[in-house]
Amino acid sequence: MIDYQATLTEGRLISRYKRFFADIDTGDGVITAHCANTGRMTGLIEEGSRVWFRKQPSGRKLGFAWELVEVASDMACINTTRANELLSSIDLSFLIPGVSYFRREPKVGSHRFDLELSREGQPVYVEIKSVTLCEDQGVGLFPDAPSERATQHVSLLSEMAANGLETHLVFVAMHTGIQSVAPHRLLDPKFFKACIKAHDAGVAFHAVGAEITPHHIRFNGALPLELD
């Protein structure tokens, strides 16, 4: 579970630009907040949307960071690092039986995975993807923009699985409207094909949901995952 250490401040989105910047109307003026999301953020950047942001520690380039956005009657977390933080805060043995938490961001070659778990002294590697693109009937699709980096991550998991290592990919739905998750076949066919290849090689795929409010983010159970 993630509890925001300080109360988030509500505002209205003016615009998101240059990927990492968002102008927000606070009612008392306009602030520029850091946007920790490299995707297109489809459906999440409508002008006038209610958003929530937090104050950043001193020394940061921007004094504020954008965290949440309201979409219709749903909430989405645009800060992609929160998915990793959420999974790191819970017991993952319900999802991957028999494992225990070991460490975050283990380095394998030139790549850092999100989590390394342990099963009877053997490493279990986990890659985490934050899903915020919510299509009709609550289908969450990843990625929301073609991602060569994500494809490389999945291909590396596939190679490791083929060499006998246990590997997992977990899609975390960071949009409360998402009821199931799938790789985005049409938008990024290379990523989709890499997922199919990885699954055939022995990579385990999972999808989970989150309860998102301006006060906390909580794990909300497993979700259906479609790979065909």
DSSP structure string for 148-194: HHHHHHHHHHHHHHHTT-EEEEEEEE-BTT--EEEE-TTT-HHHHHH
Examine residue 228 and state whether it is found in any structural domain, yes or no: no
Task: Give me the amino acid identity at 70.
Answer: E
Answer yes or no: do 106 and 62 share one domain. Answer: no
pLDDT given for residue 200 in this prediction? 97
- The predicted model scores a pTM of 0.95
Phi-psi region of 109 (alpha: psi -120 to 50; beta: other; left: phi over 0): left
pLDDT, averaged per 10 consecutive residues of the chain (228 residues), comes to: 90 97 98 96 97 93 97 96 94 92 87 92 96 95 96 95 96 98 97 98 97 96 93
pLDDT given for residue 108 in this prediction? 85
Nearest Cα to 174, choosing from 206, 126, 133, 214? 133
Task: Give the residues across from 24 on adjacent strands.
Answer: 13, 31
pLDDT given for residue 7 in this prediction? 83
Name the residue range of residue 161's domain. 81-222
* Final residue of a structural domain among 76, 106, 131: 76
pLDDT given for residue 190 in this prediction? 98
pLDDT given for residue 18 in this prediction? 95
Could you give the CA distance from residue 186 to residue 155 in angstroms, rounded to a whole number? 19
Could you give the CA distance from residue 8 to residue 75 in angstroms, rounded to a whole number? 14
Please name the helix (run of DSSP H) or strand (run of DSSP E) that holds residue 84, with its range, or none. helix 81-88
CATH number for the domain including 198? Answer: 3.40.1350.60
CATH number for the domain including 10? Answer: 2.40.50.580
